Amino acid sequence: MSVSKVFSAALDGIEAKLIEIETDVNVGLHSFNIVGLADKSLNEAKERVSSALKNSGVKPPTKENRKIVVNLAPADLKKTGSQYDLGIALGYLLATKQLKEFNAKDKIFVGELALDGALRPISGVLNIARMAKKEKFKELFTPKENAAEAAMVGEVKVFPVNNLPELILHLEARQVLESQPKTKVTPSLSSEHQLVDIADIKGQENAKRALMIAAAGGHNLLMSGSPGAGKTMLAQALNSVLPAPDLEEIMEATQIYSAAGLLHGNPFINWRPFRAPHQTASPVAVFGGGQNPRPGEISLAHRGVLFLDELPEFRRDLLEALRQPLESGKAVISRVKNNLVFPAKFILVAAMNPCPCGYYGDEEKDCRCSAFEVFRYQKKISGPLLDRIDLQINVPRVKIEHLQNKNRDQKAADEMRKKILEAREIQKERFSKSRGILINSEMTSKMCDELIELNKEADQFLKDIFEKSLISARGYYRILKTSRTIADLENSENVKVGHLAEAFQYRLRENN
């Protein structure tokens, strides 16, 4: 008997790692061992592989006394999941000479085997395909349901496989499989992924203006107002004015959703995500992690919107933990052996009532809360967290005449989308030489100093508000970024006093 080697892949967070599957078959009492830091689900692969081989018409490991050792290298990387089944089965067939030798150096095999030899879909195939391209592999064999997802990546030939006998025939050149054509990706703004259209919002012109600025520059937004004023509906309408994602953004979102097993039959995520975790969500659910680390809600909202309704009702430690991802655009999951990094560049939209009863500052209904209750409720949102939210607005009640108006303001909605798209194009040109930065909110302080030009009046105005309002250094740069977005919406080359004044007033919360 002999040793064989084929290649598969493991997911480490959302990054795919190359795995060598070495199979050694020796004479001795029957045993079948998988080594290389395999978890319980992977040890169960022995039974799946044995049954799949038997039902595919080849001699399984249980038919003869042989000592079989399968090593998954590198041995210091924990292996989880069932995607190694296909590679283990092929490695056994090669080691026992039941499969003709083929060039396995440029091929990667992934897939879970059913007991009858069929292949079941797995998670993280796009991540594996991108790793295969990076490592210069030529062919990737995946379950048929995953082939369209993998074929988003060019330069790697993707073969959809229905079952193990089909793959054996292909590798022995008796019945060649057809490769999957490259998947065409078209960005979507389909209404099925939009919860509310901005044209359906009645009144609330100031809030719509804030939404437009948030969408144009990717700025965080906090809405405070009485119950039923429309805060949730406004947040849900933000996706309807965001520009369609480009190809790289689609690939990033698809990688995250694929690693989390949330594609639900879609080959890709070609729309902007909208995530709204409940107030009872745990930090692991929001930030990612767990025993087998997977992306959390902030990563699932990458390049889209994260909506936190009833902000003060979330756990204090969870809200404070948001501070780091809001600054860095990534979630870092610390482990003893290594750290996992999940991308998390999202627009935070939060909604809250001004007090426990919800009517503090309301013009029509009296508040029943004491001053201390109002103070304690509002202090649940810390200053450092508020400092990271560029746009803070009060959302008043909608007047009855607006509610009874049945006409949709489609023209204004289309005009808003046009302005946002034009502002994004200006930013795309501005950051064309800056890797990884697409919008104004992602600028560093150094980039703000280099790229944002102020005339003499604007510079003096900024100095005045900085000195009189006790704005932090972070607040100073966030006002600059927001004013730059407002200037982009007006197609203005320089930031003027009016742009700074509007950006500054969004950081002032009434009733505090």
- Beta pairing class for 107-109 and 139-143: parallel
**Cα–Cα distances in angstroms (integers) from residue 147 to residues 9, 95, 129, 253, 404, in the given order:** 15, 28, 10, 18, 51
pLDDT at 499 over 90: yes
Nearest-angstrom CA–CA distance, 404 and 355: 29
In the block, which residue shows the tokens 């808003």? Answer: 416
Average pLDDT over the chain reads: 90
CB 177 within 8 A of CB 160: yes
pLDDT at 492 over 70: yes
Q: Omega before 243 cis (within 30°)?
A: no
Which has the closest alpha carbon to 151: 119, 187, 126, 176?
A: 126
Fold of 191-505: Rossmann fold (3.40.50)
pLDDT at 138 over 70: yes
pLDDT at 381: 92
Tell me: the pLDDT tens digits for 55-83? Answer: 999 988 888 788 999 999 998 888 888 99
Q: What is the pTM of this model?
A: 0.90
**Domain 3-171 in this protein, CATH class:** alpha beta
pLDDT at 510: 45
**Among 185-189, 276-280, 391-395, 473-477, which stretch is predicted with the lowest mean pLDDT?**
185-189
**Mind spelling out the 3-state secondary structure of 234-268?**
HHHHHHHCCCCCCHHHHHHHHHHHHHCCCCCCCCC
8-state DSSP, 34? E
C-alpha angle 420-426-431 in degrees, rounded to nearest 5: 120
Q: 383-418 burial, b if ≥16 CB within 10 A, otherwise e?
A: eebbbbbbbbbbbbbbeeeeeeeeeebeeebeebbe
**Mind spelling out the 3-state secondary structure of 300-336?**
HCCCCEEEECCHHHCCHHHHHHCHHHHHHCEEEEECC
Domains 3-171 and 191-505 share a fold: no
CB 298 within 8 A of CB 346: yes
DSSP string, 49-81: HHHHHHTTTS--GGGS-EEEEEEEESTTS-B-S
Tell me: the pLDDT tens digits for 154-193? Answer: 889 999 999 999 999 999 989 999 999 999 998 887 545 5
Interval 485-494 mean pLDDT: 94
The three-state secondary structure class of 148 is helix
Looking from the CA of 336 toward its CB, the CA atoms found within 13 Å total 4
Q: How far is CA 405 from the centre of its chain?
A: 38
Residue extents of the structural domains in the chain: 3-171, 191-505
Nearest-angstrom CA–CA distance, 333 and 335: 7
**Cα–Cα distances in angstroms (integers) from residue 400 to residues 157, 196, 315, in the given order:** 61, 20, 36
pLDDT at 1: 52
8-state DSSP, 23? E
pLDDT at 230 over 90: no
Total length of the chain: 512
The three-state secondary structure class of 94 is helix
